[in-house]
Structure 1
Amino acid sequence: MPVGSITRGTTNTNRLRRVDRWIAEQPALRHAADPFVVDLGFGASAVTTFELAARLIRSRPDVEVLGLEIDPARVRTAREQLDRTRAGDGHFPAGLPVTFGLGGFEVPTPDARRPAVIRAFNVLRQYDEAQVDEAWRRMSARLAPGGLVVEGTCDELGRVSSWVGVTAEGPRTFTISLRRSGLERPSIVAERLPKALIHRNVPGERIHELLATLDRAWRVHAPMSVYGGSQRWIAAVATLRHEGWPVIGGPRRSRLGELTLPWDAVAPV
């Protein structure tokens, strides 16, 4: 039996563009001997699985994507969508390298093939915090050597997003990605933190300190808004780096509204 519980299945076109863009740049995909990717828990519509394949194929033309769902009805719907795509009906190429199957955190794959990347988005948000470590362990145990689980959540339109990068050795990175236009304060991401962190945004926890520091830097650099939200975000991230936060990546990633840190910088105390 598939391991896990059926989630609400909410999905939306272009909702996961931020995390997909990040995955496309990761060595786990770009340098994989077998660029096989699993989209775990794609929801009531398979559109974000199709989008994942369409985005990743630009980095790895030989990528293959398997969408997994614990709900058999959703798998049937996804396969119907795929049949229509194969027939040339839709916005995606007929030959897009996508398949669908039934499965949960055990990540069943044809011939026990090991994924280079597993994307599990807006899945654990509906679980208890105590269940996170076991889910991470199950998924990461299925990875190919050097593989990566990307687990996180986002708002309905994909403008506020955060995720954890998990390897077979455990969580390694934490990323925030925000739409800067109209952004009042970066700590809006508190509503969309991964399950491992969402209840930890309280005084004394590292994630609380990070968001408070980021909000302060965002306010300090308000005059940079005349040059655009990206320039203001770049300046805010540079301030965090100057204050000793171990920011991963340079201005190119900041320009996209991203901030990535080692997991240890935000891990629960």
Structure 2
Amino acid sequence: MQKPQGEVTRGTTAPNRLRRIDRWIAATQRDALRSGERPLAIDLGYGASPVTAVELYTRLRAVSPKLEVVGIEIEPERVAAGQAFLERSGGAFPGLSFRRGGFELPVPQPPVLVRAFNVLRQYEEAAAWKVWDELRARLDPAGVLVEGTCDEIGRRAVWVTLGAEGPRTITFAAHLPALERPSDLAERLPKTLIHRNIPGERVHALLTDFDRCWAVAAPQSVFGPRARWIAAVTLLAQTWPVLAHPHYGGRTRWRLGEVTLPWAAVDPRGA
């Protein structure tokens, strides 16, 4: 076998850490998940425990019963832990497997989904852009890459969805009762953006305006943080291209503490 591409991550993980992301994928990426006779999804860099791969399998199979899921890790010990889990399960997870690998994605067919979370934090920005390109090139034509970062318990997260043609959307998500201001999500920006949160950059302007909308929406706090978030997003949509279609946005997803915009709104390489 060729040497896996990539670097070993810290491996930090926990049950339900990626629940918010999984539910968003299940709700918004159904066409991709159901494409083909035996669609394949990958949990890339799942960490020291196989729990997030198992959760991805469970949540996505609910919307795509034929979906197969492969957990990929560089560390042989982590792969062995996943395989040991399957042995103990007694065949309770048909279609779930674990294998050693990295960004080369050692799977027999192009995946319809690659979920890569908390994988690129240790890379330089230029390397992160390169990994995006490499992973996009390995997708099924209908596939998507969902790459991002969340905190240790999944209460704050930012992720980018990419297709074969490039980045499509960016999503900000938070556990609203614990959120002081939207710009607190800046520390969870993907590696391609985290060093761009400075004056003059689009993502900085977005977060600055989001904080302003959050402040204006403060009176809605008497109805709870969810009402304040919805009011702030509604204000933000007056000047930023918030995706309001129910598929990505609108009150259904806003109520969950999420907001999605086209990637072009924050693209540091854009015109």
TM-score normalized by structure 2? 0.92
Q: Is the 8 A contact 1:24 1:59 kept in 2?
A: yes
3-state SS of paired residue (2:17): coil
Tell me which moved more, 54-63 or 11-20: 54-63
Task: Tell me the alpha carbon deviations over residues 123-176 of structure 1, each in whole angstroms, 9 at most, x when there is no partner.
Answer: 011111110121111111111112100000000010000011111111111111
Aligned counterparts, 1:46-85, within 5 A: 46-85=50-89
Q: Hey, what's the Cα distance between the residues in 2 that align with 1:70 and 1:102?
A: 5
Q: Is the 8 A contact 1:150 1:163 kept in 2?
A: yes
Instruction: Output the amino acid matched with 2:24.
Output: W
* From 120, 124, 130, the counterpart of 2:116: 120
* From 154, 160, 175, the counterpart of 2:156: 160
Contiguous gaps of at least 5 residues in structure 1 = 88-93
The answer to whether residue 35 in structure 2 is matched with residue 32 in structure 1 is yes
The answer to whether residue 106 in structure 2 is matched with residue 108 in structure 1 is yes
Instruction: Please state how far the C-alpha of 1:183 moved relative to its aligned partner.
Output: 1.4
The answer to whether residue 29 in structure 2 is matched with residue 15 in structure 1 is no
* From 195, 203, 208, the counterpart of 2:199: 203
* Correspondence for 1:186: 182
3-state SS of paired residue (1:6): coil
Q: Hey, what's the Cα distance between the residues in 1 that align with 2:204 and 2:179?
A: 19
RMSD, matched Cα = 1.4
Instruction: Please state how far the C-alpha of 1:28 moved relative to its aligned partner.
Output: 4.3
Q: Is the 8 A contact 1:75 1:101 kept in 2?
A: yes
* From 150, 167, 174, the counterpart of 1:171: 167
* Correspondence for 1:90: none
Instruction: Output the amino acid matched with 1:256.
Output: L
Instruction: Please state how far the C-alpha of 1:95 moved relative to its aligned partner.
Output: 3.0
Structure 1 residues 169 and 254: CA distance shift in structure 2, 3 A: same
Q: Hey, what's the Cα distance between the residues in 2 that align with 1:257 and 1:23?
A: 15
Instruction: Please state how far the C-alpha of 1:96 moved relative to its aligned partner.
Output: 5.1
* Paired residue total: 261
Structure 1 residue runs of 4 or more that deviate by more than 4 Å after TM superposition: none
- Percent identity reads 53
Q: Is the 8 A contact 1:37 1:115 kept in 2?
A: yes
Q: Hey, what's the Cα distance between the residues in 1 that align with 2:68 and 2:183?
A: 35
Q: Hey, what's the Cα distance between the residues in 1 that align with 2:127 and 2:64?
A: 33
* Correspondence for 1:265: 265
Tell me which moved more, 241-250 or 188-197: 241-250
